[in-house]
Amino acid sequence: MKIRVVSSKNEIGNVGKNEEFIHLTFRPSNKDIFLLVQRCKNLKAIHIPTSYKKTISNSTLMFLEMQNITLMEGDVWGHRKDINEYYEIKSKVFERINELKDAGHSKEQIISQLSQETQLSKDLIAFLI
């Protein structure tokens, strides 16, 4: 699974219209999120750093909920935007999720275990499950 990394407001116009998952590395305004949702008709989730999530307005949260778009907090550690505009979640993560499910672990246990094994945020792991 690939996550499109957007590092500035100026990049929103260059984001592909079929993107489903986006990580914003900047503090988005209500307008930025609206433009992103308007541009990406298949958008399923927006991932932003924890400190930025606290500044998202209730009206924007409600708008995203009405659009069935999940807002998650966390970072994409170790990603270099100058090398690739996408952060990739390896298939091994999905295989590990299935292993833990097959072993009878609860969703909360899987989230806890994978957050320790990977550098993925708990919100992102919950979304993947």
Q: pLDDT tens, 38-57?
A: 999 999 999 998 888 888 89
pTM listed for this prediction: 0.82
What is the DSSP pairing of strand 2-6 with strand 86-88?
Answer: antiparallel
Q: At 38, which amino acid appears?
A: Q
Residue 53 is predicted with a pLDDT of 81
Going by pLDDT thresholds of 50, 70 and 90, the confidence category of residue 20 is: very high
Are 48 and 28 in contact by the 8 Å Cβ rule? The answer is yes
Average confidence (pLDDT) over 97-109: 92
> Tokens for 75?
């970072």
Compare 71 and 54 and report the one with higher pLDDT. 71
